Amino acid sequence: MPESMSAATSDARSPMHSFPTICTPRGPVPRAAPRWNRQRSSSMPSHRYRSAFDRVAVPLTGRSWPQARIERAPLWVPVDLRDGNQALAEPMDTPRKRRMFDLLVAMGFKEIEVGYPSASRTDFDFVRHLATSGAVPDDVTVVVFTPAKPDLIDRTFASVAGLDRVVVHLYIATAPVWREVVLGRDRAEVHGVVLDAARRMDRLARARPGADIRFQFSPEVFNLTEPDYILEICDSLTELWDASPDRPVVHNLPATVEIATPNVYADQIEYMHRHLARRDAVILSVHPHNDRGTGVACAELAVLAGAQRVEGCLFGNGERTGNVDLVNLALNLHAQGVDPMIDFSDIDEIRRTVEHCNRLPVPPRHPYGGDLVYTAFSGTHQDAISKGFARRADSASELWEVPYLPIDPADVGRTYEAVIRVNSQSGKGGIAHLLRTGHGVDLPAGMRAEFSRTVQEATDDSGAEATGKDLWNLFEAAYLVPGRDGGVALASWSAQTGPAGEHRFVCTLRVDDREGDYEGTGTGPVTAFADALAAAGVEAAVLELSEQHPDGAGTTTAYARCRVGGEERWGAGRDASGVAASVAAVLSAVNRARG
């Protein structure tokens, strides 16, 4: 570490902020006062908490997950109807549950946890509804959740009568604090409860030989449980349930409450991946929550570490800060060129359904699904996006390379309309983009800066966003309203071409309060008009003139840069005739300069 860095660290800890002398081979050198503001100790009672490393053993050495890549989607298992549902102030009723279930099926999920049937009549009835209504397609397996209590296991099996494919999911907390505080049982006793429950499940499944009933086990709070104990319980269940590659058991290892940086969870999962017995008969599943805000990172690193199945909720609903967000995870894969195997082509419909079922809003900044996530307000981002779109229009490549947009909004059913929105943080590129895409008006490069100052003034004044319509109104007021403030108006005019090709412009002009008839000549109708203006005492040199081809309504837009009385101004005009549009553009520049 460089000396200056170590000095900063030690000074940061010292409330006195003394700047001691450094000893170098050439003798003592007084240390200069650091030139940056360092963090100070706070009054937060952080000493009350312990690092994850002091709470649980993480015995993995020689980890391989940092070198791995995710090249295919894991098996996604939405738990919205169980874990998500149990976190709602108003749990879903059957119609809401059914709507969520149908959405999950339509999106392409093949294994769906549908409830905790022994918990409530609503949950039980919903599973019965699925079993009797034919709502479960042949290629979808439902999962039902049960604690290790005999009567509740029986009720769980009663709920799935008639369903041909089911995973029965047994859970119990295994971490030391839960064993001591919640269950009041030691390691061996908890293991005994699990084995009793597992035997009962096995018996009940054997009583239904025609049905394909598989098993799942979750050691709740896996991430705080001794790894040797997890292996002991999971391996005993793999054996008891006689799991095989054809009828694998799911061992689901939850980060019930996140406790550490995601690399720690990855180490814990890789350790299990390497040490679980009959590995080919086990589907290694993960179930991250999001207490530290790193649920997505935990799931991704866990897949790198060997997890094959991921449980989570759409848009991250779930206890406290939520379950891991399956939308986020799956679309992260999509953005890496990996098929998520889930259909997000109408993300807004998905979001609306989830919001309806959960009665909770999805925030506007939520990854991939929030209202604002494909929108740029800031000028340089808008400029880059606009250039990215222009480059795309000229390119045959399918590769998505638009700056600041990690995926094409169209992939998830969004239009490009909301990609650029204008407020006082915006610049000329974004404003020009909105006028072009919303109103077919393609401002010349030189005019954009001038118009953006007008917009900036308006948005600074209002403090609000300027919609496409607002921009059009500003453009119209600034450039298209004839005679505006400058006092020059054309009452009538005509342009003719003489036999030698010279142009004549004959008009009745009003300049301030004077009206008169004037004429001018030139190499074109516009220079002839400038000549007529000069005859009326208004000097205007046309420096740049361009016409934008007629739009769908047959209207031409013209843009003129003029020097008027030493001032340069842009003007614009619109008309069915190109000449009339150009004349109006010059008149607009003149009036803007005089106004």
* Residue 218 binds which of ligand ACO, Mg ion, ligand KIV, none (CB < 5-8 A, kind-dependent): ligand KIV
**Which single residue is written with the structure tokens 């006689």?**
242
For the CB of residue 289, give the shortest distance to Mg ion in the complex, in Å. 6
| 251 annotated to bind ligand | no
Q: Does 171 bind ligand ACO (CB under 6 A)?
A: yes
In this complex, which beta carbon is closest to Mg ion, that of residue 83 or of residue 531?
83
Q: Using an 8 Å Cβ cutoff, are 334 and 341 in contact?
A: no
| Cross-strand partners of 545 | 560
> Which amino acid is located at 467 in the chain?
T
Q: Does 486 bind ligand KIV (CB under 6 A)?
A: no
* Residue 32 binds which of ligand ACO, ligand KIV, Mg ion, none (CB < 5-8 A, kind-dependent): none
Longest dimension (CA), the chain: 111
| Cross-strand partners of 569 | 562
Structure tokens at 350: 């998905």
Q: Does 183 bind ligand ACO (CB under 6 A)?
A: yes
Q: Using an 8 Å Cβ cutoff, are 258 and 222 in contact?
A: no
Q: Does 483 bind ligand ACO (CB under 6 A)?
A: no
Q: Does 285 bind ligand KIV (CB under 6 A)?
A: no
| Cross-strand partners of 23 | 28
| 139 annotated to bind ligand | no
Q: Does 531 bind Mg ion (CB under 5 A)?
A: no
What is the Cα–Cα distance from 220 to 236, expressed in whole angstroms?
17
Q: Using an 8 Å Cβ cutoff, are 127 and 144 in contact?
A: yes
- Alpha helices, DSSP H, located in 414-490: 428-439, 445-462, 468-475
What is the Cα–Cα distance from 278 to 286, expressed in whole angstroms?
18
* Residue 148 binds which of Mg ion, ligand ACO, ligand KIV, none (CB < 5-8 A, kind-dependent): ligand ACO
- Which segments of 183-248 are extended strands (E)? 212-220
Cβ burial of 76 (10 Å; 0-12, 13-18, 19+) is buried
Taking CB under 6 A as the criterion, which residues in 95-124 touch ligand ACO? 116, 119-120
Task: Out of 256, 332, 557, 591, point to the residue binding ligand ACO (CB under 6 A).
Answer: 256
What is the Cα–Cα distance from 292 to 5, expressed in whole angstroms?
29
Q: Is the dihedral of CA 364, 366, 369, 374 positive or negative?
A: positive
In this complex, which beta carbon is closest to ligand ACO, that of residue 29 or of residue 182?
182
| 517 annotated to bind ligand | no
What is the Cα–Cα distance from 340 to 344, expressed in whole angstroms?
9
In this complex, which beta carbon is closest to ligand KIV, that of residue 220 or of residue 383?
220
From 130-138, 234-242, 252-260, 466-474, span contacting ligand KIV (CB under 6 A): 252-260
Q: Does 116 bind ligand KIV (CB under 6 A)?
A: no
Q: Does 252 bind ligand KIV (CB under 6 A)?
A: yes
Q: Does 233 bind ligand ACO (CB under 6 A)?
A: no
For the CB of residue 434, give the shortest distance to ligand KIV in the complex, in Å. 46
Interface ranges with Mg ion (CB under 5 A)? 83
Interacting residues toward ligand KIV by CB under 6 A: 83, 171, 218, 220, 252, 254, 256, 287, 289
> Which residues of this protein are in contact with ligand ACO, per CB under 6 A?
83, 86, 116, 119-120, 147-149, 171-172, 182-183, 220, 256
